[in-house]
């Protein structure tokens, strides 16, 4: 089992949408996936499940012992529309003060032997760097950073990298940086070159273009690979899945088209980049 934090100290870079899309893609290929909504905005919970009742991730953090934390974890796992995808929901009253032990999430995952049930755990995080993000980082083996291509976005990743190295040397590293909301403008192309120079080997070759479909995924609780197969961004996400998780692109298309059968309004074929 592999655990990744989806994290960027800057807000509005597409962390939640990225988490939802890659989790759904992994589950569609037959892998068992648990996503953890570690954000008080709880947008991931809204996207993936209609059940937001307690217990939530907050109950895990506030549990009086590791045993109670494990119980809260299992009770907090909610189903989604995909059988291989589950979610631990969040709540609007979650705060960093709820995390009394920065290692409790890691301890609970190990204690609960989640590796028996899941191939991947993905943790969505709010902006910033406090106890919530640290609990996620210490529970993970790598960080996936979605980012815009702008001056402040690049500076933010550099600051986050320096903070992790200097203040939290035991934290997991930045594994991959995913350029997001790409519009192929000259300034964005320049920032993409700089990003690759600063983080050589860690920036995905696939850049995710801006697409209005992302707003629909949130508001309509839809699945990119099933409901918007004709969207131009779907092809980019297939390539991204190959880069991040070494999944075969053809297999993703095959299983997606099989799932899509029976949806008469979505008779689509893969887009060509």
Does the pLDDT at position 258 exceed 90? no
Q: What's the pLDDT score for residue 221?
A: 80
Q: In 3D, which of 166, 116, 112, 120 has the Cα closest to residue 144?
A: 120
The mean pLDDT of the chain is: 89
d(CA 90, CA 35): 11
Give the list of residues 6+ apart from residue 225 with CB closer than 8 angstroms, or none.
Answer: 21, 24, 25, 28, 234, 237, 252, 256, 259
Q: What's the pLDDT score for residue 52?
A: 66
Query: How many alpha carbons fall within 13 Å on the CB side of residue 163?
Result: 14
Does the pLDDT at position 185 exceed 50? yes
Find the range with the poorest average confidence among 120-134, 218-232, 258-272.
258-272
Q: What's the pLDDT score for residue 261?
A: 61
Mean pLDDT of 223-235: 83
Sign of the CA dihedral running 258, 176, 38, 12 = negative
d(CA 102, CA 180): 29
CATH architecture label of 2-266: 3-Layer(aba) Sandwich (3.40)
Mean pLDDT of 15-31: 92
For residue 96, the SS3 value is helix
Model-level pTM? 0.90
Find the range with the poorest average confidence among 203-207, 228-232, 243-247.
228-232
Q: In 3D, which of 11, 73, 16 has the Cα closest to residue 46?
A: 16
Domain residue spans of the chain: 2-266
Share of residues in the chain with pLDDT > 70 (%): 94
The more confident residue out of 216 and 192 is 192
d(CA 210, CA 1): 31
């Amino acid at each position: 089992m592999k655990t990744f934090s989806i994290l960027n100290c800057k807000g509005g870079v597409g962390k939640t949408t990225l988490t939802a899309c890659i989790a759904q893609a992994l589950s569609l290929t037959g892998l068992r996936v648990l996503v953890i909504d570690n954000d008080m905005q709880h947008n991931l919970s809204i996207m993936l499940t209609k059940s937001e009742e307690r217990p939530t991730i907050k109950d895990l953090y506030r549990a009086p012992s590791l045993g109670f934390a494990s119980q809260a974890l299992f009770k907090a796992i909610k189903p989604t529309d995909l059988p291989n995808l589950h979610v631990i929901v969040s709540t609007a009253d979650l705060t960093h003060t709820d995390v009394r032990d920065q290692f409790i999430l890691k301890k609970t995952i190990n204690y609960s032997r989640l590796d028996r049930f899941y191939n991947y755990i993905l943790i969505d995080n709010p902006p910033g760097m406090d106890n919530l993000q640290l609990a996620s980082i210490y529970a993970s083996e790598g960080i996936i950073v979605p980012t815009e291509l702008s001056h402040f976005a690049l500076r933010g990743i550099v600051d986050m990298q320096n903070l992790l190295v200097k203040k939290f040397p035991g934290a997991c590293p930045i594994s991959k940086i995913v350029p997001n909301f790409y519009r192929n403008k000259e300034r964005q192309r320049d920032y993409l070159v700089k990003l690759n120079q600063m983080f050589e080997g860690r920036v995905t070759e696939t850049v995710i273009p801006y697409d209005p479909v992302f707003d629909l995924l949130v508001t309509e609780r839809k699945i990119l690979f099933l409901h918007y197969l004709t969207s131009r961004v779907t092809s980019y996400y297939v390539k991204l899945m190959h880069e991040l998780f070494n999944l075969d692109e053809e297999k993703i298309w095959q299983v997606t088209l099989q799932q899509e059968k029976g949806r008469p309004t979505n008779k689509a074929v893969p887009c060509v980049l």
